[in-house]
Amino acid sequence: MVALVPKTNDLAQVITDLTAQFGPGSDNPDFFDNDAVVLDFSALGQADLQVGLGELVSSLSNCQLRVIAFRNASPAQKEVALAYGLIEAPIEVSRQKTNVSRKANDKPQTTPVVIKEVVKEVVREVIREVPGAPTMVIDKPLRSGQKIYARGADLVVLAMVNMGAEVVADGNIHVYAPLRGKAMAGASGNTKARIFSLCMEPELISIAGVYRTSENKLPADIHGKSAQVRLSNDGQDKLLFEALNA
């Protein structure tokens, strides 16, 4: 599931950017495959969605994205979103906020990790081993027009990602070569995903729907250097670029 976090109250501008990147007339009309989308209104404050939400939903549909839910909405925004047939994302889908206390009478939302089995009044703890996340490895250069998607996995690329090529993963992306195309990590909404490259020169970089294009130039100590990209953990969903020491 893809999470879209509009960073401006100007939904018309958001629609323009999305259509330019992924619309029918763009260079990436088939980038998405009818993927489900959760709209996150956390950055919009009390913005009025009466005008713009319908056009945004329609534009996302043209980009082969299905808007099915929303989260972090004000009461007024919630009313508008529900009127468009969207559902409010459950707690386990929404990002957990820090310093939020739970009321004493609230029921827990998750099941215990440890399973207890009682046999003859003897309690035994059974811990199930959880397998590690799978990893897709690509060892050949990616040319313009090629797209690789590591669904439910990390992606490791051992060769160059050329301009016009796209690498997408639900987990992390590691490029042990120049990254000059598009890289999108956390494609299903994983805000902890990161992107690493030995030569950071991307056309577009994105984590959990928060993106930045080459029109916004990278700092000199990042562009063309070994670096990583992650989302800030201050609740503002900003992309942070950090140099990697050799």
Q: What confidence tens digit (pLDDT) does each residue in 190-203 have?
A: 999 999 999 999 99
Instruction: Report the candidate in 176, 227, 223, 226 with the shortest Cα–Cα distance to residue 201.
Output: 223
pLDDT for res 128: 55
CATH 2.60.40 assigned to domain 2-88? The reply is no
Looking at every residue in the chain, the average pLDDT score rounds to: 81
Assign residue 122 a region (left: φ > 0; alpha: ψ between -120 and 50; beta: otherwise).
Answer: beta
Percent of the chain scored above 90 by pLDDT? 38
Give, in order, the Cα–Cα distances in Å from 71 to each of 45, 59, 97, 185, 222. Answer: 12, 19, 13, 21, 33
**Could you tell me the fold of the domain covering 135-243?**
Pectate Lyase C-like (2.160.20)
- Is beta strand 195-200 parallel, antiparallel or unpaired with respect to 182-185? unpaired
* Choice among 15-24, 163-172, 174-183 with the minimum mean pLDDT: 15-24
Q: What confidence tens digit (pLDDT) does each residue in 75-115 have?
A: 888 888 888 888 887 644 444 443 333 444 444 444 444 43
Helices (H), the chain: 11-22, 53-62, 75-83
At position 186, the amino acid (one-letter code) is G
pLDDT at residue 54 greater than cutoff 80: yes
Average pLDDT in the 148-162 region?
A: 95
pLDDT for res 121: 43
Q: What confidence tens digit (pLDDT) does each residue in 64-75 have?
A: 888 888 888 888
| Spatial distance between the Cα atoms of 78 and 154, rounded to a whole number of angstroms | 34
Question: Which range has the top average pLDDT, 56-65, 109-118, 129-138, 211-220?
Answer: 211-220
- 8 Å CB contact between 63 and 25: no
Label residue 1 by pLDDT band (50, 70, 90): low
- 8 Å CB contact between 114 and 127: yes
Q: What confidence tens digit (pLDDT) does each residue in 9-49 have?
A: 788 888 888 888 888 888 777 787 778 888 888 888 888 88
Q: Where are the domains of the chain?
A: 2-88, 135-243
pTM over 0.85: no
> What is the token pair recorded at 137?
């490895």
pLDDT at residue 135 greater than cutoff 50: yes
Label residue 117 by pLDDT band (50, 70, 90): very low
Give, in order, the Cα–Cα distances in Å from 221 to each of 200, 201, 217, 224. Answer: 10, 12, 11, 8
